[in-house]
Amino acid sequence: MRKQISLALLTIGSFTLAQENNTPKPQDSIQKIKEIQEVLIKTQRKKQYVDKAVYSFDEEALKKARYANDLLRTLPELQFDPISSKISSIKGGKFLLLINGIEATELQARGIRPENVVRVEYYDNPPTRWANRADTVVNIITRNPEVGFAAGTSVSTALTTGFVNGQAYANYTNGRNNIGLEYAINFRDYDNRAANRVYDYYLQGSHYNTNENKTDHFGYTDQDITLRYTNSLSGNYVFQTKFSMNIYNSFSKGNGESIFIKDNASEQHGTSQYTGEKYSPPKLDIYFSKRLGKKDEISFNVVGSAYTSKSFEIDKEWVINTDNIVFDNDMNLKAKQKSIVGEVAYTHDFVMGKLSSGYRIDNNNVDNSLVNLAGNFDFSVNYLTQYLYSEFAGKSKKLMYRIGLGLTNIHNKTATTSNDDWTITPKIILGYELKKNQSLRFTSSYTPYSPGSTSLSPNINQIVPNIVSTGNPFLTIQKAWNNNLNYSYNNKYFDFNANLFYNYLDNAINSMYVLYNNNTQYALTYENAQFSSRLGIQMTGSVKPFGNRLLVIKANIYPTMQRVKMISGALLKNNYFGNNFTISSEYKNLSLTYMFNIPVYTLSGAFLNTNENQNHIFANYKLKDWTFTTGMYWLGMPSRYKMKTLDESLVNYSGVTNIYNNKNMFILGIGYDFAKGKKNEVNRKLYNNTAPATTF
């Protein structure tokens, strides 16, 4: 599909949409505040701001796209992930989608006709109200109808193994009222996953080596259900209540053989493992926003959730010749969680910029009950985070800026310890427009992070003979200082970003092996290291040799140096050359995409882990309201995951896992979408989320 895309030039002023003809257009659902002026320019399609890039699309691009999701794929730093059937950032990290400023799903975006999209805002430096949720934020700006209906469904499945992605949605708008219902399912059922694990260590004067090969049958079902109701009056108020539930269930059942060596004696062992976990957290989200005149707005948001997650592990290891049990692990974890998040935010528009202020409180209580052969363990932790913030964004000639200052209080309380920390959290973003298609930006921020419940819990989890894992309830807050210097350049053929970054984490939470239980075992546990750091340059963007979508090459290359200095003074080092590439072609209603990467090891606690390998090719064909999909994933290879310890580790470990069900996995898919009118989306200023489920 050929797409020639024009860029929106935005400046501070009253909101006006300039047209090339005199035909009136529907009113946009965004407010008429003194913030943005949009003019369609034939020679540009992108405008860079201090914290975001704004994209507009020409008539040809809008006609050839089937729904708003197709427009997102044209952005140089976004791509379609065929495994999850979702849009993702080629840079990685957490991705959040908004529609007119309100948190949304891709299913909602599928209900928006391309011609109803005014522009797309891409935030690589999310504003304060979003920064705690995502690394990348995309906001689709649409127009506001009086009446609209949209519905659709799609499914893709492998023909030879258990792989299914399915979605369905329906939205109805009538005047001020909107009702939406969504359902999504990801189903996996693989019976040919092979793993090799090797442990090598010295303990009490003896040398131990365990080499295990195991094949298992594993799978999961992940379902999301959302029901929402919105009542809004443009320029006056917005009320929304949303109920959602994530239903998750997973299992793994396998058998293997192990060669167990102690000094010069070896034994042939048999192994078996059966694990599973399930949870279904309900979540209620209530939002209200009210305009206070032309320049002021106040917003409220409350999110609550209460549920129980369950996990279990049954592991056995025995000597094959004698059937003597050498390792027996029967463990059940029940975690009761209660979470609530509340936030109030206020904004005021000045002639020279915009002031945003707010207060957020987040409380999460986790009550762990663990039962295994070592006994019963009960552990509770309460996380309380308060955040008071204010920021001002504006522009002076070619200089763009956003300056924020916050105060964060983190109060973690367990049965054994209590940690209370107050941190001033400044953030500054400066941008300078070198030319109309070139800009330079600098970002610096300081943010505290709380340890998770797993790292704090002292519950003991048996891994293999002589090795257990446990948390550390005495962990303290870690604090991150993040710095970025970004250069952007774009024209009809190129969209290029180079980001020089330096991230420093004080009191970094780091996992490691230590002697345990009177030096009779090793434990994988956590400590507050002196620091960890990342230094590198990330180069992302796209190349369009013909100036359209006939051929597009997207790349993400990020050479990086990692350093961790432990309490002992040992300095852990790791350098890697991260990468991933996408080549796509669109012609009329047919699109082809090829994705690949070269996996690299990244440092994570005590281990070096590779990212998931990619070698996928897939095609889409659109026929009226139908979409047909086919492809082959992991061409010529299984999905592969590698892990190993550094040389400094007391326990030397290496592991390789291959999922052979994925090798040359052939996929077929079909989708149908119908829309009449367009949805009444609201300009929501706040959104929050409760804590994720606690498992092993």
pLDDT in tens, 30-74: 333 233 223 333 333 778 887 888 888 877 777 777 778 788 888
Distance CA 409, CA 645 (A): 35
Give the Cα separation of 195 and 654 in Å (integer): 11
Quick check: 375 and 408 in contact, CB under 8 A?
no
Mean pLDDT for 474-502 is 93
Q: According to the per-residue pLDDT averaged within each range, which of 74-78, 488-492, 559-563 is highest?
A: 559-563
- Identity of the highest mean pLDDT range in 130-139, 213-222, 487-496: 213-222
Residues contacting residue 494 through CB under 8 Å, at least 6 positions apart? 541, 542, 543, 544
Euclidean distance between CA atoms 303 and 202, whole angstroms: 50
User: What pLDDT, on the 0 to 100 scale, is given for residue 380?
Assistant: 87
With a cut of 50, say whether residue 16 has pLDDT above it.
no
How many other C-beta atoms lie within 10 A of the C-beta of residue 233? 12
pTM score, whole prediction: 0.84
Q: Does residue 443 surpass a pLDDT of 80? A: yes
592: tokens are 């082809």
Q: How far apart are the first and last CA of the chain?
A: 47
370 and 459 Cβ atoms separated by less than 8 Å: yes
CA–CA distance, 643 with 657 (Å, rounded to integer)? 9
Sort 21 into a burial class: Cβ within 10 Å, 0-12 / 13-18 / 19+.
Answer: exposed
Reading the block at residue 516, the tokens are 């345990």
Distance CA 295, CA 350 (A): 8
| pLDDT band per the 50, 70, 90 thresholds, residue 694 | low
CB atoms inside a 10 Å sphere around CB 491? 17
Give the C-alpha separation, 572 to 358, whole Å. 40
- Which residues in the chain are classed under CATH 2.170.130.10? 45-144
- Mean pLDDT to the nearest integer, 294-318: 93
**What would the mean pLDDT of 391-420 be, rounded to a whole number?**
89
Q: Dihedral sign, CA of 453, 458, 461, 463?
A: positive
| pLDDT higher than 90, residue 573 | yes
Residue whose tokens read 């002639």: 351
What whole-number percentage of the chain has pLDDT above 70? Answer: 90
C-alpha 623: how far from its chain's center? Answer: 32
Q: Which fold has domain 45-144?
A: Ferric Hydroxamate Uptake Protein; Chain A, domain 1 (2.170.130)
